[in-house]
Amino acid sequence: MSASSEGIHDGEWLSEGETRARLDRTWDQGRGLYAFFATVDHKRVAKRYFVTAFVFFFLAGILALLMRLQLARPDNGLIGPDMYNQIFTMHGSTMMFLFAVPIMEGLAVYFVPLMCGTRAIAFPRLNSFSYWVYLFGGLMLWVAFALNIGPDAGWFAYTPLSGPGYSPGKRVDFWAQMITFTELSGLAVAIEIIATIFKQRAPGMALNRMPLFLWSMLVMSFMILFAMPSVMLASTMLIMDRLVGTHFFNAAEGGDALLWQHLFWFFGHPEVYIIFIPALGIVSSVVSTFTRRPIFGYPVMVLALIAIGFLGFGLWVHHMFATGLPRLGSSFYTAASMVIAIPSGIQIYCWIATMWQGKPRFATPLLFVVGFIVIFVLGGLTGVMLASVPMDLQLHDTYFVIAHFHYVLVGGAVFPLVAGAYYWYPKVTGRLMNERLGRWNFWTFFIGFNLAFFPMHYLGLAGMPRRVYTYSDGLGWNGLNLLAFAGVLLIGISVLLLIINLVRSRKHGALAGANPWNAPSLEWATSSPPPTYNFRHIPLVTSDNPLWEHREQLPVMRGLSVDKRELVLTTVLDAKPDIREPVAKPSIWPFISAIAVGVMFIASIFTPWAVVFGAIPPAIAITIWFWPKGDPGPADEDPEP
Amino acid sequence: MRRATGYGRRATVRSRSLLPVAVATVVALAACHRENRHFTAPPGTELSPPQQSMSGLVAGGESVEFRKQQGKEYEGNAYHMGEGKRLFQWFNCSGCHANGGGGSGPALMDDRWIYGGEIDEIYLTIVQGRPNGMPAFGGKIPSQQIWQLAAYVRSMGGHGPKSARPGRDDHMQRDSEQGRRDQPINPAAPPSSTD
Amino acid sequence: MHSIGEAMGVHAQHIDALWHAMLWVCGIMYVLVLGFLGLAILRRGRRRDEREVVHAQDERGLSMTLVAWTGLIVAGLFGLTLFSYFTDRALVQAASQPQINLKITGYQWWWQVEYVDPDPSRSVKTANEIHLPVGAQVSATLASQDVIHSFWVPNLHGKQDLIPGRDNDIRLQPTQAGTYLGICAEFCGLQHSKMHLDVIVESQEAYNAWYERQLQSAPPPTEPLAQRGQQVFMSSACNMCHAISGTDASASVGPDLSHVASRRSLAAGALPNDADSLFAWISNPQAIKPGSRMPIVPLSEHDLEALTAYLRTLQ
Amino acid sequence: MNPHSNEPLPPQFMGTLAFLPPHAHGNRSLTWWGMMGIVAIESTAFVLAVATYFYLATHSRVWPPHEARPDLFAGTLFTIVVVLSGVPNYWLKRAAEAEKLRQVRIGLVVMSVAAIVLLPIRYYEFVGLHVAWSDSAYGSITVTLLGLHTVHLITDLYDTLVLTALMFTKHAKGRRFVDTAENALYWNFVILAWLPIYAVIYFAPRLL
């Protein structure tokens, strides 16, 4: 055995089969109900994120169908104003808080460790805790909606409408508390991703050799760190205004209604970039693989990502041009909003240049990326129009804006997400998705989307405001709304095709193998689906496209123990091996802590004392979670976070 | 014999799954009552004619049980209490009752009710008016609005579910109502319901 | 026609010009992107070998085009930003000497319009309708009594929010006679979708005639049915919220009904102004605008007929 | 190599990781980065709360509205004690990095006592504000700002107490010293976060 101080280490002296058997036993996550709640395997937690976020996407999609059905005819009596307000608020809140951010974070939780070439995510128990908090937040909101306590003041709930005076009952409180849940979960995952990318990259993967997907996830996480506290502060202040009589937003007592808009949109605009930037990472991975060429202009792409990250924080006031702010201030935000079109334009150019020089192979993922480019660029250009103050005075809060943000969010995030699904499904399940069904899925989505949302540009120009539960005849809006309804039906069919493809391929999809697309990045260097420890040996990275450099053998490092869970920490800049970090074992306590925190949040809606007394159970649960268990080893003990 | 046990097992399974459903419906009933928005007044609330009568015995007109049953519908409903608070300002009840602290009219925050503190008794007080200055609003305010006012007045006194009570007002808190701070209904209740 | 494209006011015309500039610049950029994308896709036909990967290539050509492309984006954006600034300045400077001063107050789900005149006796208070002479320079102060609304008449100008605790200002200058639709553009609760107002731009003489008629109160009803209607109005719940000049109903909680019959529409644009609609609205407002603050006042059939007849006399 | 085999590429061993240390101090440790993440989140929340304070202050004509300026005594006392607590904290951090168990135990007990002493002072600060959070926007933001830092103080007090208990058990070795050093670093953040808030709560009403 190897000469090191204790335990058996992997290397030439152990056969591959022997190494694998020992690692399987050491890293076993267990079976059964207890293991289900106690697992800390980042892949299992990520799969739960995918499934839960997709269920919320599907539910919110049904609400969208209901909205279009109600608006298909003028003066339609199908849905009353009270129910319609709940439906459009739930559609917006679910898509933004319960689908978009969690699915992107789930993607990061699954693929960041794999692409970094490490064995687990940093702080695996915190990762499990973050999923349960997210799940409880989503369940709370949808149970409230089922009990007719769904929020009805819009997904950004402007005060004073969402304030105590004009929103009776507990509806907006449940919305504000849902934000506390999802942001807590989002912040936790952001910390994990930053720590994983900075400290756990495979030896040799210096910052300039990191795949663009990791860069995008890093920028997303930093944006989350600095954006989400703003909405947590704002929603706490709103819930205090509503429940304990503070006056943050009460103009009569020195507060200000616009304070809510400033705080919310300081988070709101970075939020849409938090959703959009990971999509850039997905597109870069897909384009590079399917054109069989490294991305054109890697340094320019990285700088563009970072530029979007910073600029995203400087233009929130373009949501408030019509509130009568001084014109000089607003024109600054016009310039800032225009400037952000430059890095996006550069990125689009670089992808097309990659296709230009590469040999594109139009499998479904690349089809969806082409769809992304066609739709997102149009959305970006309508964004440039909305950035101008005078233009926004006419277009703000109309269906033109609804068309714009669906083009940039559905086009800019959902299309790349579906491309990512077709691209990484083989790695997650070991089977390929059906290509023919994929093409049908793409074309129905592409045509349905444009049929549904392009007419909304004209509806906006024809003066149709947002969030109306009905409209009277004779305003010229009838035909276009009917067209939009047809489009949304087609999108519904496309989503069903996607579900069929996802479910059917689980059993009937062709066997994928380790690297079906001949892709360059490290997640394709291990088997599909990857074992709980991801890599039998930690890879050594010598170029930014490892699997294209080494086609026969993968250079790896030996020396990690096979009978103790550990991985290697590397230095931040050029990833030189630094520390052998032990990895946490499965534990039920993150799940119990999440329940305690959830009960505290929900109880605090009904009595402010819950914040004081409700904090005790979570404190106890988290202490037990962190308290080291078992007898301490000789030199290093197992960690707890 | 086997069929019986089979039946027994299936029954227990069904009863076990019924329990959570029962709990959920109870929660649902409690919650959704608080949150329902009734826009049209419930049937049979025709405008009660103004009459001056001191006793509950009313020839014809609404019977006591019917009124009590109606009161239930308004009492715990957050929407009606919110509307009641708005009407309290609109119809200038604060002119005499000064947001519940009491001025020329009696205080509505405390537990002393000269003419009865139940919701239907407050409804009758508003409809019929009372000596020493309480005008009869019977013919002047539609009965749905009077019920909403009665529900709000009861919530000012701390009755009715706390979760349904309307929150802080959006108007200036008049310092003159400082007096009412020292009669908190119950410490946990937000002081906001008094302005 | 109610749309941004048909500019009937000075401000809307400025914005319309900017809109066309934006359409052209963005359209060209979009065509360039699609063209580049299309060519990149069509080029693939020439190379069939599947497996091996494309390696080091000279990227000089593409790098140069990238610099050019970035320059084009910067130039386009710079141009649009400059044009936007000039349009914005033009908007602020237009209608700089307003002859007519309005005070528009937003309530939950209707508009109160006041013509503010230095001499208070010549001030007019109406609801859900604005009359303006062609070419007049108008300044409107926007305030809200409850939640945030947004005043928007697409044919005349962009929108401006009405925010409680703040007074915003908007300038209008109609250039063509006609009837334009104004709407509330910021979500304000249950009946946000039926919170419209009519803006009637007419000749100076017609405006003066209208203004004078608004100043006097409507003559007292003569025929018996209308007189019965006035009695019902005074004795029932109506005067708890509504005011009619010339009578002792003066509550300002609901819209001012002094000249309700002369208005173009009823219930903030929800109904045309005719006897049947008025009757339907009074008998059951919740059926037309569920959640509206107007309660159902249970009156007998005859009283409703009388009330409608009375209100129809308030020209 | 047939593209559809599910077996990973055969390994080519290039070097060993066997002799790397199990833990390290400073930014070489993983938990340091996690803690820095939390510090970034909380400082953003503080910055935004202070920005809200000034937004509300500039938005109203009279600040504070009802002539109630916070008493200086309790606040200044808190500031002095918390800044002084930085000295034993620095000493504790050095002892933890040197992994001397006895000094670390003493240091942790001292820091726990310091944190506990700060709680009653903070109570008198709340009393000294002379304003309730439901009086006005000024009252709301002042009490909330002080409340945010109090939550911050209580969580770190609890964290220190748990760590103190841990260091008196058999687990007190190796990586736990890294945790103690990082907790000391976090206490420095509690001190640094308090200084601007102290200036805002106590001197903004006097200067604006």
Is the pLDDT confidence value at B63 over 90?
no
Query: B: neighbours with 3+ CB pairs under 8 Å?
Result: A, C, D
Instruction: Reply yes or no: is the peptide bond before residue C298 cis, omega within 30 of 0.
Output: no
Q: Which residue of A has its CA nearest to B194?
A: A245
Residue A232: pLDDT band with limits 50, 70, 90: very high
Quick check: B170 and A251 CB within 8 A?
Answer: yes
In angstroms, the CA B187 to CA B168 distance is 16
Select from A148, A161, A243 the residue whose CB has the most chain B CBs within 10 Å, as the one to mutate to test that interface: A148
Intra-chain end-to-end CA distance of chain B, in Å: 70
In angstroms, the CA D178 to CA D95 distance is 11
Q: Please indicate if any CB of chain D lies within 8 Å of the CB of A187.
A: yes
The shortest CB-CB distance from A579 to any of D28, D45, D139 is to D28
- Residue B12 Cα distances to B6, B9, B17, B19, B20, angstroms: 10, 5, 8, 11, 13
Select from A350, A359, A478 the residue whose CB has the most chain C CBs within 10 Å, as the one to mutate to test that interface: A359
Residue A234: pLDDT band with limits 50, 70, 90: very high
Residue C162, strand partner residues: C149
Is the pLDDT confidence value at D148 over 60?
yes
Instruction: Compute the average pLDDT of residues B128-145.
Output: 86
Residue D190: pLDDT band with limits 50, 70, 90: very high
Q: What would the pLDDT profile of C16-46 be if each residue is shown by its tens digit?
A: 999 999 999 999 999 999 999 999 988 865 5
Is the pLDDT confidence value at A603 over 80?
yes
Quick check: B190 and A244 CB within 8 A?
Answer: yes
Measured between CA atoms, how close is C313 to chain A, in angstroms?
A: 27
Lowest mean pLDDT among A346-360, A366-380, D2-16: D2-16
Instruction: Compute the average pLDDT of residues A560-571.
Output: 92
Residue B175: pLDDT band with limits 50, 70, 90: very low
Residue A99: pLDDT band with limits 50, 70, 90: very high
Residues spanned by CATH 1.10.760.10 within chain B? Answer: 38-167
Q: What would the pLDDT profile of C66-75 be if each residue is shown by its tens digit?
A: 999 999 999 9
Quick check: A377 and C30 CB within 8 A?
Answer: yes
Question: Rounded to an integer, what is the distance from CA C100 to the centroid of its chain?
Answer: 18
Around Cβ C56, how many Cβ atoms within 10 Å?
6
Which of A427, A423, A410, A450 has the alpha carbon at shortest distance from A367?
A423
pLDDT on residue B173: 59
Residue A302: pLDDT band with limits 50, 70, 90: very high
Is the pLDDT confidence value at A397 over 90?
yes
Question: Could you give the count of Cα atoms lying within 13 Å of C183 in the half-sphere of its Cβ?
Answer: 29
Residue B140: pLDDT band with limits 50, 70, 90: confident
Q: State the burial class of residue D135 (Cβ atoms within 10 Å of its Cβ: 0-12, 13-18, 19+).
A: buried
pLDDT on residue A641: 57
Which of C248, C242, C111, C98 has the alpha carbon at shortest distance from C169?
C98
When the pLDDT of each residue in chain C is averaged and rounded to a whole number, the result is 91
pLDDT on residue B40: 75
Q: Which residue of C has its CA nearest to A89?
A: C187
Measured between CA atoms, how close is A261 to chain B, in angstroms?
A: 18
Is the pLDDT confidence value at B18 over 80?
no
Which of A276, A347, A265 has the alpha carbon at shortest distance from A314?
A265
Residue A5: pLDDT band with limits 50, 70, 90: very low
Q: Please indicate if any CB of chain D lies within 8 Å of the CB of A32.
A: no
Name chain A contacts of C165, Cβ cutoff 8 Å.
Answer: 251-252, 256-257
Residue C178, strand partner residues: C201
Q: What would the pLDDT profile of A493-540 be if each residue is shown by its tens digit?
A: 999 999 999 999 999 999 998 999 999 999 999 999 999 999 999 999
In angstroms, the CA C185 to CA C220 distance is 38
Quick check: B192 and A244 CB within 8 A?
Answer: yes
Measured between CA atoms, how close is B87 to chain C, in angstroms?
A: 10
Select from A119, A567, A579 the residue whose CB has the most chain D CBs within 10 Å, as the one to mutate to test that interface: A579
Which of C191, C185, C147 has the alpha carbon at shortest distance from C287?
C191
Residue C142, strand partner residues: C104, C168
Which of A114, C53, A514 has the alpha carbon at shortest distance from D9?
A514
Task: Classify residue C313 by its DSSP letter.
Answer: T
Name chain C contacts of B37, Cβ cutoff 8 Å.
Answer: 190, 291
What's the fold here for domain B38-167?
Answer: Cytochrome Bc1 Complex; Chain D, domain 2 (1.10.760)
Q: What would the pLDDT profile of A412-467 be if each residue is shown by its tens digit?
A: 999 999 999 999 999 999 999 999 999 999 999 999 999 999 999 999 999 999 99
Q: Which residue of D has its CA nearest to A581?
A: D22
Greatest mean pLDDT among A131-135, C250-254, C264-268 lies in A131-135
Three-class DSSP category at A35: helix
Give kind and range of the element (H or E) at residue C103.
strand C100-107
Instruction: Compute the average pLDDT of residues C227-244.
Output: 91
Residue D173: pLDDT band with limits 50, 70, 90: confident
Is the pLDDT confidence value at B53 over 70?
no
Instruction: Reply yes or no: is the peptide bond before residue A160 cis, omega within 30 of 0.
Output: yes
Name chain B contacts of A147, Cβ cutoff 8 Å.
Answer: 27-28, 31-32, 35
In angstroms, the CA A79 to CA A71 distance is 9
Is the pLDDT confidence value at D8 over 90?
no
Quick check: B78 and A169 CB within 8 A?
Answer: yes
pLDDT on residue B15: 53
Percentage of chain B surpassing pLDDT 90?
1
What's the fold here for domain D42-207?
Answer: Four Helix Bundle (Hemerythrin (Met), subunit A) (1.20.120)
For chains A and D, what is the number of CB pairs under 8 angstroms? 238
CB-CB contact of A406 with C16 (8 Å):
no
So where are chain D's domains? 42-207
Task: Classify residue C203 by its DSSP letter.
Answer: -
Which of A304, A274, A128 has the alpha carbon at shortest distance from A212?
A304
Residue C172, strand partner residues: C138
Q: State the burial class of residue B176 (Cβ atoms within 10 Å of its Cβ: 0-12, 13-18, 19+).
A: exposed
Instruction: Compute the average pLDDT of residues A574-587.
Output: 93
Quick check: A245 and B188 CB within 8 A?
Answer: no
Lowest mean pLDDT among A220-229, A239-248, A582-591, B129-138: B129-138
CB-CB contact of A82 with C190 (8 Å):
yes
pTM: 0.92
Around Cβ D23, how many Cβ atoms within 10 Å?
24
When the pLDDT of each residue in chain A is averaged and rounded to a whole number, the result is 93
CB-CB contact of A422 with A498 (8 Å):
no
Lowest mean pLDDT among A301-315, A406-420, C248-262, D183-197: C248-262
When the pLDDT of each residue in chain D is averaged and rounded to a whole number, the result is 92
Q: Which residue of A has its CA nearest to C73?
A: A342
Residue D2: pLDDT band with limits 50, 70, 90: low
Is the pLDDT confidence value at B52 over 50?
no
Q: What would the pLDDT profile of A464-495 be if each residue is shown by its tens digit?
A: 999 999 999 988 899 999 999 999 999 999 99
Instruction: Compute the average pLDDT of residues D144-164.
Output: 95
pLDDT on residue D171: 86
Which of A6, A10, A2, A24 has the alpha carbon at shortest distance from A560?
A10
Residue A37: pLDDT band with limits 50, 70, 90: very high
Quick check: C240 and B37 CB within 8 A?
Answer: no
pLDDT on residue D5: 81
**Both tokens assigned to C29:** 């950029």
Three-class DSSP category at C107: strand
Quick check: A390 and C3 CB within 8 A?
Answer: no
Interface confidence, given as ipTM, is 0.90
pLDDT on residue B158: 74
Is the pLDDT confidence value at B10 over 70?
no
Residue B129: pLDDT band with limits 50, 70, 90: confident
Is the pLDDT confidence value at C210 over 90?
yes
Q: What would the pLDDT profile of B79-99 be if each residue is shown by its tens digit?
A: 888 888 888 888 888 888 887
Residue A566, strand partner residues: A582
Give CA angle at C268 (C263, C272), nearest 5°.
55
Name chain B contacts of C249, Cβ cutoff 8 Å.
Answer: none
Query: D: neighbours with 3+ CB pairs under 8 Å?
Result: A, B
User: For residues B21 and A114, which has the higher predicted lDDT (pLDDT)?
Assistant: A114
Is the pLDDT confidence value at B184 over 60?
no
In angstroms, the CA D96 to CA D98 distance is 5
Is the pLDDT confidence value at C107 over 90?
yes
pLDDT on residue C219: 87
pLDDT on residue A412: 95
Ordered DSSP codes for A414-458: IHHHHHHHHHHHHHHHSBPPPHHHHHHHHHHHHHHHHHHHHHHHH
